[in-house]
C-alpha cells in the first residue's frame, strides 16, 4: 500500500468520516482558504441545533449548490483546477524535500497529526500561555502507578482506535451541552489532540489559561459545541501552535489525504446507482483512525468529552476518586483494542510539580521564619546549638525560584505548622529540632524544584530540535552519494556478498549430503 512518502495518509483518517457530520458552516477540511464564520452563530439559547447528519455526505455542510449540481461557471472553474492539477513539477521529489519556511507553515490552513507525546503537549500548552500544568503519561492502572502522578489530576487524554459506529456502555449523552461545561466539537481533520486539550483546560477554573485562551473562552462561552469547534478551527493562533512541528511532508500528506477524501465523495456523488452491499463492504474495509478524547471532572460529575460526538457524555457522579469512574469507561475501549491487537495511550493533565514545589517552598519559608522568631524570643543564642548554614536558605525575592515579594506576602503559615508550634510551646530544644527539620525540607524542595525546571528546559530544547526538519539534509546527502556512484557500489557489494553466502551454503550442503 505504500507508494512512496506521499502515500502515507494521516493516521487520523477515521476522524474525517465522523467530523464531517458536525455542521458549522465548515468545509470537509481546512487545507484550502479558511471559510468565513457566521457573524451571528446560534448560541446556547438558540432553538435550532446546527448539527445535521446530512453534513456527512457533503464536502461543505450547508452548501446547496453542490446538491443540485455545479453551474456552468462552476464547471469551468473545476475544469481549470483539474487542468492545473495535471501539471507535474520537473522534480516533484526535490520540491517535496525543500525546507519549509515559517511563513509557509503559517499560511497553510490545514492541521497536521500530533503524536501522543507528553513533551510535545507540554510545549504546546506553554506556547498557548497555559501556566502551571503538566501532561504526563499514565504507565498503568495500578494504585502504585497512579499514585506517581502529580496531584491534582485535572483530566485524562485517551488515544485509541476510533470506530464510527461505536456504542458507549454506561455513558449518557446529554441532550444538549450544559452551560457550565465548555465543550467543542471537532470540525477540522487532525485537530483531535488540540480539541481534547482545550476541552480539559477550559473546564478547570483554577488553571491560568493566559491572555489568548482566556479571550477565546470568553468569546465562545455562549456558542454551541459545533460553532466552538468551527471558531477553534479558524483561529490562526491556535492552529499555528498546533502546527509548530509540521514538516513539508506532513503538510503534503494531509493535503493528499484530504484530496483522497474529496475524490471518494465525488465518486460516490457521481454514481447513478447506489450499491448498498458494496457500500457496506467498503465501509467495513475502511481502516479506522486513531483519535484523542478527554475525561474531566466538572462539579462532581465525570464527563467524557469526545469532539466527534454531538454532545458531552455523562459518566456519572463521583465522591472522592473521579479517576476510578473515568478509568472504568476507558477499560471498555482497552478491552476492545486488545482483542483487535491495537495499541492505545493514556495521558494525564496535572498540576505542574514546579508550581506545587514553589507553593511548598514559600510555605516552608514562613515556617522557618516563625520558628526563628519564636526561638529568638525564648533563647537569643539558640543558633549556637545548630550547625546548619543559613546561607543556603532562599531569601525574598529570589528570581531563580520565581519567588516575588507579592507571592510571599500573599501566603502564610499552614495549619499543620501552627499545630506543631503550639505543641512545641516554649521548649527551646523542640523548637531547634523543628527548625532543623524545616531547613532539611527546604533543601529537598529546592532540589525538586530545580530538577523539574531542568526537565522543562530539556523539553523546550527537544521541541526546538524537533521543529527543525532534517529530511532535506538527509535526502540531499543520499542524493550526492547516489550521484557519485557510492550507493551503487554499496548495493553491488551487498549483492555480491549475498551471492557468495548462498554459494557457500550450497557447497556446504553438497559436502554434507550422504553418498
Task: Please report the pLDDT score of residue 262 as a whole number.
Answer: 83
On whether residue 295 sits in a domain, the answer given is: no
CA dihedral 449, 450, 456, 460 (to 10 degrees): 160
Q: 3-class SS at 212?
A: helix
Using CA of residue 327, residue 328, residue 331, residue 332, what is the dihedral sign? negative
Candidate list 12, 192, 234, 350, residue with the active-site label = 192
Task: Please report the pLDDT score of residue 97 as a whole number.
Answer: 81
- Both 39 and 108 in a single domain? yes
- Both 440 and 375 in a single domain? yes
Q: 3-class SS at 297?
A: strand
Candidate list 242, 291, 333, 350, residue with the active-site label = 291
Task: Please report the pLDDT score of residue 53 as a whole number.
Answer: 35
Task: Please report the pLDDT score of residue 270 as a whole number.
Answer: 75
| Last residue in a domain, options 351, 366, 395 | 351
Q: For the residues of 45-88, what is the DSSP string, one character each? A: T-SS-S--GGGGG-SBTT-STTTT---HHHHHHHHHHHHHHT--
Distances, alpha carbon 111 to alpha carbons 31, 106, 116, 470, in Å: 7, 11, 15, 20
Known catalytic residue: 192? yes
On whether residue 203 sits in a domain, the answer given is: yes
> Which domain does 453 fall in, by range?
354-466
Task: Please report the pLDDT score of residue 338 as a whole number.
Answer: 66
| Last residue in a domain, options 351, 381, 412 | 351
Known catalytic residue: 515? no
- Both 135 and 226 in a single domain? yes
CA 161, CA 139: separation in Å to the nearest integer? 19
- Both 506 and 438 in a single domain? no
155: which residues sit within 8 A by CB, 6+ positions away? 200, 201, 203, 204, 294, 295, 296, 297, 348, 349
On whether residue 367 sits in a domain, the answer given is: yes
- Both 60 and 111 in a single domain? yes
CA 515, CA 512: separation in Å to the nearest integer? 9
> Among 288, 344, 304, which Cα is nearest to 116's?
344
- Residuewise pLDDT in 10s, the chain (515 residues): 433 333 333 334 444 444 444 444 333 344 444 444 444 455 544 433 444 333 333 333 333 333 444 444 444 444 444 544 454 556 777 778 888 888 888 999 999 999 889 999 999 999 999 999 999 999 988 889 999 999 999 999 999 888 765 555 556 677 889 999 999 999 998 999 999 999 999 999 999 999 999 999 999 999 999 999 999 999 999 999 999 998 888 888 888 888 888 888 888 777 755 555 555 555 444 556 789 999 999 999 999 999 999 999 999 999 889 999 999 999 888 877 666 666 789 999 999 999 999 999 999 999 999 999 999 999 999 988 888 888 889 999 998 999 999 999 999 999 999 999 999 999 999 999 999 999 999 999 999 999 999 999 999 998 888 888 888 888 888 888 888 889 899 999 999 998 888 887 665 555 555 54
On whether residue 318 sits in a domain, the answer given is: no
CA 12, CA 326: separation in Å to the nearest integer? 23
pTM, two decimal places: 0.75
CA 251, CA 46: separation in Å to the nearest integer? 37
On whether residue 170 sits in a domain, the answer given is: no
> Among 348, 415, 428, which Cα is nearest to 380's?
428
Residue whose grid cell is 529546592: 446
- Both 385 and 447 in a single domain? yes
For the chain, the domain total comes to 3
On whether residue 453 sits in a domain, the answer given is: yes
Task: Please report the pLDDT score of residue 121 as a whole number.
Answer: 95
- Both 416 and 508 in a single domain? no
> Among 224, 230, 195, which Cα is nearest to 37's?
230
CA dihedral 16, 19, 22, 24 (to 10 degrees): -80
- Both 242 and 119 in a single domain? yes
Assigned C-alpha cell, 475: 535526502
Task: Please report the pLDDT score of residue 275 as a whole number.
Answer: 57
Q: 3-class SS at 136?
A: strand
Amino acid at each position: 500500500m505504500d507508494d512512496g512518502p506521499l502515500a502515507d495518509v494521516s493516521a487520523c483518517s477515521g476522524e474525517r468520516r465522523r467530523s464531517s457530520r458536525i455542521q458549522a458552516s465548515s468545509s470537509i477540511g481546512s487545507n484550502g482558504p479558511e471559510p468565513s464564520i457566521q457573524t451571528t452563530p446560534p448560541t446556547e439559547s438558540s432553538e435550532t441545533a446546527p448539527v445535521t447528519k446530512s453534513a456527512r455526505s457533503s464536502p461543505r455542510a450547508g452548501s446547496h449548490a453542490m446538491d443540485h449540481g455545479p453551474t456552468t461557471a462552476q464547471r469551468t472553474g473545476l475544469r481549470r483546477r483539474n487542468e492545473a492539477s495535471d501539471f507535474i513539477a520537473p522534480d516533484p521529489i526535490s520540491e517535496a524535500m525543500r525546507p519549509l519556511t515559517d511563513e509557509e507553515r503559517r499560511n497553510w490552513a490545514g492541521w497536521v497529526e500530533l503524536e501522543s507525546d507528553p513533551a510535545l503537549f507540554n510545549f504546546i500548552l506553554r506556547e498557548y500561555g497555559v501556566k502551571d500544568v503538566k501532561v504526563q503519561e499514565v504507565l498503568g492502572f495500578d494504585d502504585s502507578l497512579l499514585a506517581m502522578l502529580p496531584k491534582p489530576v485535572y483530566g485524562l487524554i485517551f488515544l485509541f482506535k476510533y470506530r464510527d459506529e461505536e456504542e458507549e456502555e454506561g455513558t449518557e449523552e446529554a441532550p444538549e451541552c450544559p452551560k457550565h461545561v465548555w465543550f467543542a466539537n471537532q470540525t477540522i481533520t487532525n485537530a483531535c489532540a488540540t480539541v481534547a486539550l482545550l476541552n480539559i483546560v477550559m473546564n478547570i477554573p483554577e488553571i491560568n489559561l493566559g491572555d489568548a485562551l482566556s479571550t477565546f473562552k470568553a468569546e465562545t462561552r455562549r456558542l454551541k459545541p459545533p460553532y466552538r469547534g468551527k471558531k477553534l478551527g479558524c483561529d490562526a493562533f491556535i492552529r499555528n501552535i498546533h502546527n509548530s512541528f509540521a514538516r513539508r511532508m506532513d503538510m503534503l500528506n494531509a493535503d493528499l489525504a484530504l484530496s483522497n477524501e474529496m475524490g471518494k465523495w465525488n465518486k460516490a456523488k457521481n454514481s447513478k446507482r447506489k450499491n448498498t452491499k458494496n457500500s457496506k463492504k467498503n465501509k467495513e474495509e475502511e481502516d479506522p483512525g486513531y483519535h484523542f478524547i478527554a475525561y474531566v471532572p466538572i462539579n462532581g460529575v465525570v464527563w467524557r468529552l469526545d469532539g466527534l460526538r454531538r454532545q458531552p457524555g455523562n459518566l456519572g457522579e463521583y465522591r472522592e476518586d473521579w479517576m476510578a469512574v473515568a478509568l472504568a469507561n476507558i477499560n471498555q475501549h482497552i478491552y476492545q483494542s486488545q482483542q483487535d491487537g491495537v495499541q492505545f495511550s493514556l495521558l494525564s493533565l496535572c498540576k505542574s510539580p514546579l508550581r506545587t514545589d514553589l507553593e511548598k517552598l514559600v510555605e516552608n519559608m514562613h515556617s522557618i521564619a516563625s520558628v526563628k522568631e519564636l526561638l529568638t524570643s525564648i533563647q537569643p543564642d539558640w543558633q549556637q546549638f545548630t550547625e546548619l548554614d543559613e546561607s543556603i536558605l532562599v531569601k525574598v525575592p529570589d528570581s531563580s525560584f520565581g519567588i516575588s515579594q507579592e507571592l510571599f506576602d500573599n501566603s502564610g503559615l499552614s495549619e499543620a505548622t501552627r499545630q506543631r508550634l503550639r505543641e512545641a510551646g516554649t521548649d527551646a530544644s523542640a523548637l531547634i529540632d523543628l527548625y532543623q527539620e524545616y531547613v532539611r525540607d527546604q533543601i529537598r524542595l529546592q532540589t525538586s524544584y530545580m530538577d523539574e525546571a531542568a526537565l522543562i528546559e530539556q523539553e523546550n530544547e527537544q521541541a526546538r530540535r524537533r521543529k527543525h526538519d532534517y529530511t532535506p539534509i538527509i535526502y540531499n546527502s543520499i542524493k550526492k552519494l547516489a550521484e557519485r556512484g557510492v550507493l551503487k557500489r554499496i548495493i553491488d557489494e551487498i549483492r555480491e556478498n549475498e551471492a557468495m553466502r548462498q554459494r557457500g551454503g550450497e557447497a556446504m550442503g553438497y559436502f554434507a549430503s550422504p553418498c
